[in-house]
C-alpha cells in the first residue's frame, strides 16, 4: 500500500478544522494590523536561498530539497518564507509604492529534510509577516506584538519573549572579530560544524545545538559590548516600545538565530509549558536591513517573523486548549425518496446562496438514519421533504433541540431561517 512520505501528514477531519480555525484567526488579526496577503511559489531558484538564507546556515547546507528541472535549472522547495517574499518584493517593485511601509503576510507549506519528531515535520505549515521600507524600531515592536497577541487570543499562558540585537554592519564586524579571537584557542573543542563556521560566520557558533552547554559558549563575548551608538539607541527604543505595549521581555544575548540575514533586533517567543520539552520556541524573527540588497534589490530595511503551526498545536495540546468550536450545520435535508430529490436540491441551493450552511442525504438513508446523521453533523434544523410537501410547495422543518416540527411555505423558507438563526 502506498503511504505518505516520512515527515509529512495528511490534513483532514479534526486537523483540518484546527488549521482552518488558526488560519482564519491569523487572517482576521492581519486585517486589524493592516497587513496584506502575499503568496509565492512552493519552489524557487536554488540561488535565492543560497544568497538569501546563507550558505553557512544548517537549512541550506543540510536541509533543503534540491532538484534539477527538465530545463536544467537548479530549483529548491522553499525551506522558509522570507527569501521568497523578498524576491517578490523586488521583482514586483513594491519599494516604489506610495503607501509605505509595505507590510505583508503569508501562510503555507515549507520543506526541510530534518529528523521528524513531535511538532517537527519535513513538510510543515508556516505563517509569517514581513515589513519593508522602514527602519523605525517601533516597527520591530509591532512585529513582536503580533505573535504575542495571537497567542493571547488562543489562551496560551506561559509565553516568554526573548530579545537580542546583532547591531548594524559596523557593530557586527567588530563582534565577529572578537568571537574569532575568543574561539581560536578553543577550536579543537568545538564540533565539526562549528569548526566550519569559525571562519565563515562565527556568530553561528553561538547558535550551535551540539556545543551550547559548553562553558566556552557561556563565557563568550556579548554583542552588547560591541554596539556602536546608533545600534545601541535602536535596541533601547525597541525595549521602550515593547514596554509601551505592555509586553514583558528578557534580553538574551545568546540569541543569534540560525539564518545569516539578521541585523539589529532578533527575537524568539517560547512557550513555558510543562512537558513541552526543550524545543519550546514557537516563533522567531528579527530585522534584516541588508537582505533586500543581498538578493538584488535596492538598499531597503526589513523586519519580520515566522511561526510554525505544528509546534503551536503541540503547545495548545499540552495546555489542554481547544479554542476551535465544534462545527455546526444550520440545516440538513432528508428527502423521503428519489422523487423528492430535485425539490430538495432547490431548497438546498436556495438556503446556501442566502448564507446558510447545510447538507442533504446522498446515501438514500431511511428517515430514522437521517435523524442520526443530522445528530452526527451537529445540525440545528432538519428539513423533511416528502410528496405531501412537494404537492403543497412547502417543507417540514424540525428543530433538533426542541424536537418541534413546523411546516413552512417554499417562499418563506429563507425568512424563517433568518428569524431563527
Sequence ranges of the domains in the chain: 13-168+228-318, 329-420
| pLDDT at 289 exceeding the cut of 80 | yes
| Mean pLDDT of the region 185-196 | 81
The answer to whether 283 and 308 have CB atoms below 8 angstroms apart is yes
Q: Which of 25-34, 192-201, 354-363 is predicted with the least confidence, judged by mean pLDDT?
A: 192-201
**Cα separation, 160 vs 249, whole angstroms:** 7
**Cα separation, 215 vs 181, whole angstroms:** 16
**209-248 tens-digit pLDDT:** 676 667 788 788 888 899 999 999 999 999 999 999 999 9
What pLDDT does residue 56 have? 60
Using 50, 70 and 90 to split pLDDT, how confident is the model at 258? low
| Mean pLDDT of the region 332-361 | 97
**Cα separation, 335 vs 225, whole angstroms:** 76
Domain 329-420: state its class.
alpha beta
Burial of 264 (0-12, 13-18, 19+ CB in 10 A): buried
Q: Which of 3-7, 22-26, 197-201 is predicted with the least confidence, judged by mean pLDDT?
A: 197-201
Please tell me what DSSP assigns to residue 398. Answer: E
| pLDDT at 257 exceeding the cut of 70 | no
| Mean pLDDT of the region 302-307 | 97
What pLDDT does residue 275 have? 65
What pLDDT does residue 140 have? 98
Q: Please state at what angle helix 137-154 crosses helix 229-244, rounded to 10 degrees.
A: 30
Q: Please give the mean pLDDT across all residues of the chain.
A: 92
* Set of cell numbers at residue 141: 515592536
Q: Domain 13-168+228-318, what architecture?
A: 2-Layer Sandwich (3.30)
Question: Which CA distances in Å does 102 have to 13, 93, 206, 288, 392?
Answer: 36, 11, 32, 15, 59
Using 50, 70 and 90 to split pLDDT, how confident is the model at 250? very high
What pLDDT does residue 299 have? 95
Q: Peptide bond before 101: cis, by omega within 30 degrees of 0?
A: yes
Pairing mode of beta strands 379-385, 394-399? antiparallel
| pLDDT at 309 exceeding the cut of 70 | yes
Residue 265 has φ and ψ, to the nearest 5°, of -65, 130
| Mean pLDDT of the region 140-160 | 95
Pairing mode of beta strands 36-37, 263-271? unpaired
**78-121 tens-digit pLDDT:** 999 999 999 999 999 999 999 999 999 999 999 999 888 888 89
Q: What percent of the chain has pLDDT over 70?
A: 95
Transcribe 33-82 into DSSP letters.
HT-EE----SEEEHHHHIIIIITTSHIIIII-EEEE-TTS-EEEE-SSSH
Q: Answer positive or negative: Cα dihedral of 413, 414, 415, 417.
A: positive
Using 50, 70 and 90 to split pLDDT, how confident is the model at 276? low
The answer to whether 258 and 60 have CB atoms below 8 angstroms apart is no
Q: Answer positive or negative: Cα dihedral of 353, 358, 362, 366.
A: negative
Helix (H, G, I), strand (E, B) or coil at 321: coil
Say what the alpha-carbon torsion angle 79, 80, 84, 89 is, to the nearest 10 degrees: -170
Amino acid at each position: 500500500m502506498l503511504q505518505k512520505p516520512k515527515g509529512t501528514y495528511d490534513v483532514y477531519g479534526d486537523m483540518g478544522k484546527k488549521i482552518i480555525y488558526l488560519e482564519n484567526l491569523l487572517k482576521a488579526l492581519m486585517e486589524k494590523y493592516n497587513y496584506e496577503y502575499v503568496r509565492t511559489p512552493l519552489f524557487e531558484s536554488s540561488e535565492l536561498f543560497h544568497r538569501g538564507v546563507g550558505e553557512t546556515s544548517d537549512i541550506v547546507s543540510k536541509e533543503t530539497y534540491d532538484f534539477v528541472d527538465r530545463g536544467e535549472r537548479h530549483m529548491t522547495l522553499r525551506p522558509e518564507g522570507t527569501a521568497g517574499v523578498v524576491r517578490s518584493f523586488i521583482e514586483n517593485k513594491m519599494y516604489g509604492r506610495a503607501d509605505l511601509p509595505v507590510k505583508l503576510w503569508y501562510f503555507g507549506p515549507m520543506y526541510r529534510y530534518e529528523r521528524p519528531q513531535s511538532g517537527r515535520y519535513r513538510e510543515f505549515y508556516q505563517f509569517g509577516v514581513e515589513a519593508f521600507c522602514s527602519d523605525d524600531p517601533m516597527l520591530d515592536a509591532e512585529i513582536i506584538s503580533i505573535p504575542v497577541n495571537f497567542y493571547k487570543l488562543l489562551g496560551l499562558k506561559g509565553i516568554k519573549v526573548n530579545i537580542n540585537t546583532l547591531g548594524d554592519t559596523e557593530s557586527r564586524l567588530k563582534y565577529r572579530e572578537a568571537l574569532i579571537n575568543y574561539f581560536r584557542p578553543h577550536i579543537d573543542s568545538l564540533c565539526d560544524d562549528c569548526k566550519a563556521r569559525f571562519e565563515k560566520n562565527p556568530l553561528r557558533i553561538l547558535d550551535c545545538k551540539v556545543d551550547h552547554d559548553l562553558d566556552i559558549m557561556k563565557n563568550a563575548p556579548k554583542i552588547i559590548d560591541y554596539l556602536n551608538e546608533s545600534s545601541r539607541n535602536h535596541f533601547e527604543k525597541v525595549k521602550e516600545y515593547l514596554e509601551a505595549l505592555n509586553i514583558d521581555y528578557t534580553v538574551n544575548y545568546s540569541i543569534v538565530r540560525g539564518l545569516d540575514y539578521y541585523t539589529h533586533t532578533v527575537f524568539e517567543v517560547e512557550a513555558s509549558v510543562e512537558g513541552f520539552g526543550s524545543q519550546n520556541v514557537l516563533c522567531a524573527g528579527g530585522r534584516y536591513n541588508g537582505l533586500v540588497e543581498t538578493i538584488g534589490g535596492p538598499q531597503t530595511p526589513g523586519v519580520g517573523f515566522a511561526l510554525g503551526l505544528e509546534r503551536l498545536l503541540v503547545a495548545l495540546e499540552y495546555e489542554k486548549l481547544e479554542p476551535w468550536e465544534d462545527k455546526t450545520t444550520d440545516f440538513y435535508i432528508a428527502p423521503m425518496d428519489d422523487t423528492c430529490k430535485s425539490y430538495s436540491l432547490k431548497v438546498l441551493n436556495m438556503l446556501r446562496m442566502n448564507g446558510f450552511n447545510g447538507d442533504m442525504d446522498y446515501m438514500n438513508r431511511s428517515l430514522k438514519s437521517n435523524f442520526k446523521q443530522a445528530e452526527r453533523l451537529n445540525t440545528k434544523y432538519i428539513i423533511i421533504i416528502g410528496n405531501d410537501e412537494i404537492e403543497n410547495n412547502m417543507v417540514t422543518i424540525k428543530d433538533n433541540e426542541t424536537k418541534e416540527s413546523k411546516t413552512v411555505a417554499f417562499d418563506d423558507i429563507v425568512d424563517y431561517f433568518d428569524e431563527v438563526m
